[in-house]
């Protein structure tokens, strides 16, 4: 088994963990916290699970699915077992626990000593609700492991022996970088990296009663301050004075700046009329020649 | 019955499937319920009123726990012409107390709750799983199902098809004759949000009291009927539309609901409401005339899958028929399994039970009703006849004296070109069905 | 407030200058050829030459020297998003990701897929990323006071585990793929979002694009659904584009999407919700079903496309 400080490139991988963030999508006041009907995990977490399963198969090592959350999260874990995860662990926490507490507990649970151990941890790149993408980095920190976040592809066909995972991360301007992430490491993936396999019928049936290990966690350390929630409105942008001689054009450039409030015409039309109105506008703006009609 | 994975596979976790599974699981049979949606009721749409009294047998004091929106204490039947409305309004406070009568409920809540009872009794529920085929033995007996999952075959002693209208399983098993589009209506519905106080005030109800309005006329040129139901803070406004007419007219169902909502009798009820959801679903409405064979070797069919929905104008009931038929299918299955005979004959107890109870009795009694209610005369001529007669009755046309009722009816009948013979026959049909 | 800006090959990342402005032009540039990247910055600029990007090693080293900076802001560029939470962890502080406004008293973060805005009192100390493109850059005058910070990061071996801190090794930087370039340089773009009903609708969008000489882009919801490849995702974590014309179908206009959109001359938005940000941004905002409008547009503009079928609802209603 590798340990956090081992640097041997050929150390065998002992196990893989995947962190699934369960979100109760229906947040009506008074909704039952254990009501799992509308809950789910993000496309990114499903992709992470699929990558974990492929790597687990390729390397011949077990895959553990972890979720920090209330009992409602167990359905997600059962779905992971159905798809092929070997075991499932729920860290008993509030659904709205702070990212730092969540990451700390996940790091503990995946640490090589104590708890279910894992040398490679897979996450989604950000969770549906709070979407900070910070949990994987916090786990990497606690585990002193390498991180590679927001990956757009992971090579799941590489050999197990060389102790690295090859993956591609996006950079500015459409460039990407090909990385070799040493194991132990933490990867987070975008949703389209892989689509989760259908669980076979018998596994799916058996998963309904499969045991879920539950780990009690200490009371939360951190509490975020309560937020004032308002509908999204873009922030006013600061603009450099536009260049050019034409005053009107300069003014227009300024007032058109991305976040200016409603700047155009709003129309409510039947589909056919709407299409005609759009074509008309495109023609007025000079994007369509007349023969396009 | 060697070599089975499970005693019974129930296809579909709607009201029919859940009740079948409750019965079987309580009798100690192993049951797997397969459901296409992500959870029971997730995709199931209907108008909005359930009549759960049949649950007395399965879940005593169900009203203490069922996820209902409002208890129906007011039922109105409205006859509409473009500018007129005649409403018969009935209110019963007794319907607002145990054992209750009808209730409005959301299907994602109601079906989920009912299926929860099946699971609690020991049934295994597997969602996001679609049945795509039947397994048969060389003799043609159904011995299981094929699902869309990898390694998706499940062998069972008996299959109960509760997969709703247009049942894939019943058709696959050859229990249906040729399918006629005329036997189906299209149900369309909008869910409209309004604050609870506004609904209470507009509909004259308090607390958990609710209203059920069934509407004849008001669906434009398309034969059908409409409804308005109250939930706690939403209204369900919808229409049930005859398919061939709808297709022929090229009218969109949304336009028909829009027309209904704009009717002077409905508009004040829905004014200012915010559209939450639009949905559409087929209804098997021909009743007895379209029912399939209810059993085959190794197979039972219940609920909408067996066309047991009762859609006849002032009635729109399906959930209660589904729950009852599911329950009886469960009982018949228990019997057949313990006698080790799941042949068509071995399963005959199912149809016998249905015949002894409201399930088939109501259908027999009302077998002419759907046809009658959706006929052109009832749809396009009678609402006008009734409303213009009433209009003339109540019109004070001084200095002319009030005319007699019989004379008004006669002159309106003639004005609308309704033959006396047709009127008499429809009247008799109506009396036989509804009387 | 201090802006920490990771630099690759002497180039400021997208949003770097904005982060600097948000922090009153107190900046620390860390990375490769930082002096080159500092050329256009004014204010108080510190430079830390640290070699190629290494989040683990950088975060550990920076955590020590930044201990007295209560607020550290990074741009929500790819490297900024990667480094910020690691730095926050090393400093034992909360990480506030993708904020649209930051100050020592309040922070504003979009949540729920960009539908809502959460305004919170600022914690005593935190690390944050600032969404790219949300504030713009003020005109700069005055010079920079430049100082150097040596953490020895550039002299440590790359890709090795050091002091228990492993980092990934960059094997190769790949040039933008053809499809990305196509989108990034397109003058006209048609974009599709979650309002589109099915992959077929997305194909119609592509057909419309071909007919109009426009490239096709999508929101993350669509790329997550797998209807189109990643290289087509417009936004913070996708491709940053700058078309003249943008046609948005069923797109809500979440900040992560619009911040990758540049400043199109003309925007058309088709959406059932008249009040979402994409509609607010539009020159022509059409309140209608995007799927149906798309079908009509295809019928009008795509040669040989048949007129849209009318009463399809019956068939669709058959299975619900
Ligand atoms: C517009 C409209 C209004 C109505 N209003 C009312 C009303 O007010 N009151 C009332 O009592 N009734 C009403 N009904 C009728 C009522 O909805 C049905 O009669 C009732 O839902 C039938 O129940 P069921 O269990 O047989 O089928 P369903 O409720 O249709 O359940 C079938 C289940 O099977 C699943 N399924 C289908 N195929 C498969 C497959 N191949 N594999 C796995 N699972 C599958 C489905 O997902 C579904 O969950 C209305 C119907 C409509 C369309
Ligand atoms: C760290 C992070 C990075 C992200 N990066 C990106 C990124 O790079 N690019 C990106 O796009 N997103 C990104 N996102 C996601 C982003 O927050 C939004 O969730 C996403 O952009 C929303 O996409 P959408 O507009 O398609 O969907 P939604 O927000 O769900 O909006 C759908 C819209 O369609 C409308 N609609 C629904 N039905 C119809 C209909 N029939 N006709 C017309 N309109 C209809 C609705 O009114 C709504 O406005 C990121 C999020 C995070 C947290
Ligand atoms: N409560 C949790 N339980 C398990 N995994 C989590 C949890 N919260 C976050 N994660 C993982 O961390 C990723 C990023 O989440 P976040 O930092 O919340 O945006 C998610 O996609 C999950 O893989």
d(CA C102, CA C108): 7
pLDDT tens, position by position, A133-173: 899 999 999 988 999 999 999 999 877 667 789 999 988 77
Helix (H) / strand (E) containing C47? strand C43-49
pLDDT range class, residue C217, cuts 50, 70, 90:
very high
Top-confidence residue, C115 or A207: A207
Q: Which atom of ligand 2 is nearest to the CA of C81?
A: 1
Distance to chain B for C253, nearest Cα, Å? 21
DSSP secondary structure, chain A, as one string: ---TT---TTPPP--EEEE---B-S---TT--TT--TT-B--HHHHHHHHHHHHHHHHHT--EEEEEEE-GGGHHHHHHHHHHT-SEEEEEE--TT--HHHHHHHHHHHHSSSSSS--SEEEEESS-SSS----HHHHHHHHHT-EEEEEEEEE--SS-STTSEEEEEEE-GGG-EEEEEEESSEEEEE-GGG--PPPPPHHHHHHHTT---EEEE-PPPS--PPP-EEEE--PPPPP-PPPPSS-HHHHHHHHHTSTT-S--SEEEE--HHHHHHHHHHHHHHTTSS-GGG-
| Residue C309 confidence (pLDDT) | 41
pLDDT at C164 over 60: no
Interface test with A, best of C160, C280, C305, C313 (most A CBs within 10 A): C280
Distance of CA C117 to the CA centre of its chain: 17
| Residue C319 confidence (pLDDT) | 32
Contact yes or no for A149/A169 (Cβ under 8 A): yes
Spans in chain B with pLDDT lower than 70: 1-2, 312-315, 435
Contact A200 B125 (CB under 8 A): no
Lowest mean pLDDT among A14-23, B280-289, B360-369, C158-167: C158-167
| Alpha-carbon distance values, B97 to B49, B51, B53, B64, B75 (Å) | 16, 14, 13, 11, 16
| Alpha-carbon distance values, C169 to A182, A185, B172, C266 (Å) | 8, 12, 58, 43
Of B38, B126, B150, the CB nearest to A198: B150
Distance to chain B for C312, nearest Cα, Å? 8
What are the b/e assignments for A77-104, b being 16+ CB within 10 Å?
Answer: bbbbbbbbbebbbbbebebebbbbbbbb
For chain A, give every domain's residue range.
2-216, 247-292
DSSP secondary structure, A172-233, as one string: GGG-EEEEEEESSEEEEE-GGG--PPPPPHHHHHHHTT---EEEE-PPPS--PPP-EEEE--
C221 lines ligand 2 (CB under 6 A): yes
Mean per-residue pLDDT for C230-256? 89
- Looking only at the bridges linking them, the beta strands covering B70-80 and B85-91 are antiparallel
| Residue B42 confidence (pLDDT) | 87
| Residue C180 confidence (pLDDT) | 67
In DSSP terms, which residues pair with A180 in a beta bridge? A166, C169
Give C192 Cα–ligand 2 centroid separation in angstroms. 9
Top-confidence residue, B2 or C26: C26
Top-confidence residue, B388 or A293: B388
The structural architecture, per CATH, of the domain A2-216 is 3-Layer(aba) Sandwich (3.40)
| Residue C320 confidence (pLDDT) | 30
Helix (H) / strand (E) containing B279? strand B274-284
Q: Is C125 left (phi over 0), alpha (psi -120 to 50) or beta?
A: beta
CATH of B6-69+105-178+287-365, one of 3.10.129.10, 3.50.50.60, 3.40.309.10, 3.40.50.2300: 3.50.50.60
Contact B151 A204 (CB under 8 A): no
Of B38, B124, B149, the CB nearest to A199: B149
CATH number of B182-284: 3.30.9.90
| Residue C306 confidence (pLDDT) | 55
Contact B149 A37 (CB under 8 A): no
Mean per-residue pLDDT for C67-89? 95
Contacting subunits of B (3+ beta carbon pairs below 8 A): A, C
pLDDT tens, position by position, B330-340: 999 999 999 99
Top-confidence residue, B5 or C153: B5
Tally of CB atoms within 10 A around B189: 23
Provide the ipTM: 0.81
For residue A278, the chain C residues in CB contact (below 8 A) are: 247, 268, 270, 284, 286, 293, 297
d(CA A34, CA C292): 39
Contact yes or no for C301/C293 (Cβ under 8 A): no
Q: Which long-range contacts (CB under 8 A, 24 or more apart) does A218-223 make?
A: A220/A93, A220/A94, A220/A97, A220/A98, A220/A101, A221/A98, A221/A100, A221/A101, A221/A104, A222/A98, A222/A100, A222/A101, A222/C94, A223/A98
Helix (H) / strand (E) containing C68? none
Lowest mean pLDDT among A5-19, A260-274, C157-171: A5-19
What domains are defined for chain C? 2-155 (3.40.50.620), 183-316 (3.40.50.1220)
pLDDT tens, position by position, A56-69: 999 888 999 999 99
Of A199, A200, A205, the CB nearest to B32: A205
Cα dihedral: B268, B270, B271, B275 (round 10): -170
d(CA C305, CA C301): 8
Contact C78 A172 (CB under 8 A): yes
Query: Which residue of B322, B330, B370 sits with most ligand 1 atoms within 8 Å of its CB, as the best mutation to test the pocket?
Result: B322
d(CA B167, CA A183): 52
For residue A143, the chain C residues in CB contact (below 8 A) are: none
| Residue B372 confidence (pLDDT) | 80
| Residue B369 confidence (pLDDT) | 80
pLDDT range class, residue A258, cuts 50, 70, 90:
very low
pLDDT range class, residue A24, cuts 50, 70, 90:
confident
Nearest ligand, CA A44: 3
């Amino acid at each position: 088994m590798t340990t956090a400080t081992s640097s041997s490139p050929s150390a065998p991988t002992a196990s893989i963990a995947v962190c699934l963030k369960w979100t109760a999508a229906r947040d009506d006041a008074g909704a039952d916290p254990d009501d799992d009907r509308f809950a789910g995990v993000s496309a990114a977490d499903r992709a992470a699970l699929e990558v974990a399963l492929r790597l687990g198969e390729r390397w011949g090592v077990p895959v553990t699915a972890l979720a920090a959350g209330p009992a409602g999260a167990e359905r997600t874990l059962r779905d992971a077992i159905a798809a092929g995860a070997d075991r499932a662990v729920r860290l008993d926490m509030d659904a709205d626990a702070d990212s730092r507490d969540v990451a700390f507990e996940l790091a503990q649970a995946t640490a090589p000593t104590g708890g279910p151990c894992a040398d490679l941890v897979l996450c989604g790149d950000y969770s549906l609700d709070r979407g900070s993408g910070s949990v994987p980095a916090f786990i990497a920190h606690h585990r002193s492991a390498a991180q590679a976040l927001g990956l757009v592809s992971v090579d799941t066909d590489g050999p197990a022996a060389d102790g690295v995972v090859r993956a591609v991360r996006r950079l500015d301007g459409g460039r990407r970088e090909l990385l070799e992430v040493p194991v132990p490491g933490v990867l987070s993936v975008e949703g389209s990296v892989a689509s989760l396999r259908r669980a076979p019928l018998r596994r799916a049936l058996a998963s309904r009663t499969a045991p879920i290990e539950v780990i009690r966690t200490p009371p939360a350390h951190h509490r975020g301050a309560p937020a004032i929630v308002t509908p999204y409105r873009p922030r006013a942008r600061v603009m450099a004075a536009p260049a050019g001689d034409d005053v009107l054009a300069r003014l227009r450039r300024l007032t058109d700046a991305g976040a200016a409030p409603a700047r155009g015409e709003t129309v409510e039309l039947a589909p056919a009329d709407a299409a005609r109105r759009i074509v008309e506008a495109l023609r007025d703006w000079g994007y369509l020649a007349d023969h396009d009609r | 019955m060697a070599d089975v994975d499970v005693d019974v596979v129930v296809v579909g976790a709607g009201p029919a499937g859940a009740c079948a599974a409750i019965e079987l699981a309580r009798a100690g049979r192993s049951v797997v319920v397969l459901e296409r949606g992500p959870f029971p009721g997730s995709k199931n749409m209907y108008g909005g009123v359930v009549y759960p009294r049949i649950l007395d047998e399965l879940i005593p004091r169900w009203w203490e726990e069922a996820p209902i929106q409002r208890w129906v204490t007011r039922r109105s039947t409205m006859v509409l012409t473009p500018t007129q409305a005649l409403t018969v309004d009935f209110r019963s406070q007794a319907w607002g107390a145990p054992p209750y009568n009808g209730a409005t409920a959301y299907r994602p809540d109601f079906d989920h709750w009912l299926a929860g009872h099946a699971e609690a009794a020991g049934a295994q529920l597997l969602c996001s799983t679609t049945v795509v085929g039947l397994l048969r033995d060389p003799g043609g007996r159904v011995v299981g199902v094929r699902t869309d999952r990898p390694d998706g075959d499940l062998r069972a002693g008996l299959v109960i098809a509760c997969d709703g209208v247009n049942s894939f399983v019943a058709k696959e098993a050859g229990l249906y004759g040729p399918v006629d589009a005329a036997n189906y209506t299209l149900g369309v519905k909008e869910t409209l949000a309004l604050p609870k106080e506004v609904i209470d005030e507009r509909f004259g109800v308090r607390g958990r009291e609710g209203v059920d309005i069934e509407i004849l006329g008001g669906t434009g040129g398309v034969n059908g009927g409409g409804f308005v139901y109250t939930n706690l803070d939403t209204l369900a406004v919808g229409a049930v539309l005859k398919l061939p007419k709808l297709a022929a007219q090229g009218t969109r169902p949304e336009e028909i609901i829009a027309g209904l909502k704009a009717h002077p009798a409905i508009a004040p009820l829905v004014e200012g409401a915010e559209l939450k959801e639009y949905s559409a679903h087929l209804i098997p409405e021909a009743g007895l005339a379209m029912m399939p064979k209810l059993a085959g070797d190794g197979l039972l069919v219940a609920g909408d899958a067996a066309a047991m929905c009762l859609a006849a104008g002032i009635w729109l009931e399906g959930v209660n028929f589904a729950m009852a038929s599911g329950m009886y299918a469960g009982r018949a299955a228990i019997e057949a399994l313990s006698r080790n005979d799941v042949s068509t004959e071995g399963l005959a107890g199912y149809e016998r039970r249905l015949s002894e109870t409201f399930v088939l009795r109501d259908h027999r009694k009302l077998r002419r009703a759907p046809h009658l209610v959706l006929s052109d005369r009832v749809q396009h001529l009678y609402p006008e006849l009734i409303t213009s007669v009433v209009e003339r009755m109540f019109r004070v046309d001084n200095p002319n004296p009030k005319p007699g009722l019989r004379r008004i009816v006669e002159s309106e009948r003639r004005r609308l070109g309704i033959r006396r013979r047709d009127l008499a026959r429809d009247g008799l049909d109506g009396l036989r069905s509804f009387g | 407030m201090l802006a920490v800006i990771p630099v690759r090959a002497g180039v400021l990342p997208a949003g770097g200058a904005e982060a600097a402005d948000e922090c009153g032009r107190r900046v620390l540039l860390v990375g490769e050829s930082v002096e080159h990247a500092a050329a256009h910055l004014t204010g108080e600029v510190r430079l830390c030459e640290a070699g190629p990007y290494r989040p683990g090693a950088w975060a550990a080293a920076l955590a020590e020297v930044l201990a007295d900076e209560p607020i550290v802001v990074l741009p929500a560029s790819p490297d900024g998003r990667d480094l910020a939470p690691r730095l926050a962890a090393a400093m034992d502080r909360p990480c506030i990701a993708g904020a649209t406004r930051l100050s020592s008293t309040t922070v504003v973060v979009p949540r729920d897929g960009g539908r809502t805005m959460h305004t919170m009192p600022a914690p005593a100390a935190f690390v944050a990323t600032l969404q790219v493109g949300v504030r713009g850059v003020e005109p700069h005058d005055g010079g920079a006071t430049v100082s150097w910070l040596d953490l020895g990061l550039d002299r440590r071996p790359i890709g090795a585990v050091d002091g228990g801190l492993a980092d990934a090794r960059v094997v190769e930087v790949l040039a933008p793929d053809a499809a990305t370039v196509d989108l990034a340089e397109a003058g006209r773009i048609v974009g599709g979002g979650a309002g589109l009903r099915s992959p077929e609708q997305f194909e119609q969008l592509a057909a419309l694009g071909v007919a109009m000489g426009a490239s096709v882009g999508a929101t993350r919801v669509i790329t997550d659904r797998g209807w189109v490849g990643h290289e087509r995702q417009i936004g913070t974590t996708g491709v940053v584009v700058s078309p003249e014309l943008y046609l948005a179908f069923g797109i809500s206009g979440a900040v992560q999407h619009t911040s990758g959109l540049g400043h199109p001359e003309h925007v058309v938005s088709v959406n059932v919700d008249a009040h979402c940000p994409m509609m607010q941004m539009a020159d022509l905002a059409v309140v209608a079903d995007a799927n149906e409008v798309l079908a009509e547009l295809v019928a009008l503009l795509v040669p040989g496309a048949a007129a849209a079928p009318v009463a399809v609802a019956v068939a669709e209603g058959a299975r619900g």
